[in-house]
């Protein structure tokens, strides 16, 4: 009888420890804090893992592939009174003539802000308007890739994963808000934006 009581008490203690351990793990959160102009690497030695949510493969030497038709990142940004610029360097799974580019729709907190056509590795940019930024500073970026495919289906090996783009690096900047400029200054700045495709960085 004593053995039964001892076993029961021991079982209860084990259950309590396991429950507490599970609650502790569930309570753990990734550090989403991001510092403007911080370049995040998607390679195996980079710091992208804490910002990645669903839709990502394991990191490779210098990049991380998206898996499926959607991939998500989440950031905790410092508060700002200005729009922010998103820059990503990426390359696509493509093959001419069947799949010459990968179209990538970029959503910021649920709103479409850019459409990129990705093939060879290059930099792509988007501007996230101030009104889309949450007061909490949370920024959710979702990449939608409707033409993701398997390398095997394109005759590019035996990989059966559904891939679209391999991301190499990411940067978020505070951008210059054209609405705050005088008409004369706007006319000077606008051609630069159009020519370079890069959002101008705001330096307070």
Residue 14 has what pLDDT?
43
Where is average pLDDT lowest: 72-86, 95-109, 141-155? 72-86
Q: Which two tokens stand for residue 74?
A: 């989440």
Can you point out the beta strands (E) in the chain? 40-41, 64-67, 70-76, 84-92, 102-108, 111-118, 122-128, 138-144, 163-174
Q: pLDDT at residue 2 above 60?
A: no
Mean pLDDT in residue range 98-118: 97
Q: Please tell me the predicted confidence (pLDDT) of residue 178.
A: 64
Spatial distance between the Cα atoms of 192 and 164, rounded to a whole number of angstroms: 31
- Domains of the chain: which residue ranges? 40-196
pLDDT digits (tens, 9 = 90+) for 40-94: 999 999 999 999 999 999 999 999 999 999 999 999 999 888 899 999 999 999 9
**pTM, entire model:** 0.76
Distance (Å, rounded) from C-alpha 136 to C-alpha 154?
Answer: 43
pLDDT in tens, 28-53: 567 999 999 999 999 999 999 999 99
Q: Which CATH class is domain 40-196?
A: mainly beta
């Amino acid at each position: 009888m004593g053995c039964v009581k001892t076993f029961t008490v021991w079982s209860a203690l084990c259950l309590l420890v396991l429950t507490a351990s599970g609650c502790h793990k569930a309570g753990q959160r990734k550090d989403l804090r991001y510092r403007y102009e911080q370049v995040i690497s998607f390679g195996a030695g980079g710091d992208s893992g804490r910002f990645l949510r669903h839709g990502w493969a394991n990191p490779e030497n210098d990049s991380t592939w998206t898996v499926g038709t959607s991939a998500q990142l989440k950031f905790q940004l410092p508060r700002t009174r200005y729009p922010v610029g998103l820059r990503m360097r990426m390359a696509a799974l493509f093959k001419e003539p069947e799949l010459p580019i990968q179209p990538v729709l970029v959503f910021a907190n649920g709103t479409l802000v850019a459409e990129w056509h990705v093939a060879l590795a290059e930099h792509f940019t988007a501007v996230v308007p101030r009104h889309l930024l949450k007061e909490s500073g949370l920024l959710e970026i979702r990449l939608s890739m409707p033409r993701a495919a398997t390398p095997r289906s394109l005759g590019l090996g035996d990989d059966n994963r559904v891939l679209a783009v391999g991301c190499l690096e990411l940067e978020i900047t505070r951008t210059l808000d054209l609405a705050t400029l005088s008409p004369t200054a706007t006319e000077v700045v606008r051609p630069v934006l159009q020519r370079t495709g890069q959002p101008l960085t705001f330096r307070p």
